[in-house]
Amino acid sequence: QVRLVESGGGLVQAGGSLRLLCFGSGPSLSSYAVGWFRQAPGKEREFVATMDWSGRVTDYTDNVKGRFTTSRDNTRSIAYLQMNSLRPEDTAVYLCAARLFSGSSDDQEYDYWGQGTQVTVSS
């Protein structure tokens, strides 16, 4: 069973950047696709980005394309979400999730979830 822990969230002004980390353990994250999702207060959880086990195949929701980049270091069992040009509407709890091999934008297809990290973007 994969245990996921996110970090890197915080408070940032609009236009700023943050880098989220998702560390996987027991076993390594190297065989798992990683998805990033977010949930704002009073809203449903929504897909942000995903990448396959290799990091070569990625997908993003339209409103983060060109601003967010997901990547991974399988030697360290870490996935990253680099977030640039942040907007107030990006404010949410960000969660990473894992499933074997191929990524997905459907949260129902993920088997393991982290607890989330808060991202707050001030205007």
Q: What average pLDDT does this structure show over 84-98?
A: 98
| pLDDT reading at 101 higher than 90 | no
Strand ranges, E, within the chain? 3-7, 10-13, 18-25, 32-39, 46-51, 58-60, 68-73, 78-83, 92-100, 112-113, 117-122
pLDDT tens-digit series, residues 31-75? 999 999 999 999 999 999 999 999 999 999 999 999 999 999 999
pLDDT for position 81: 98
> Measured between alpha carbons, how far is 23 from 2 in angstroms, rounded to an integer?
10
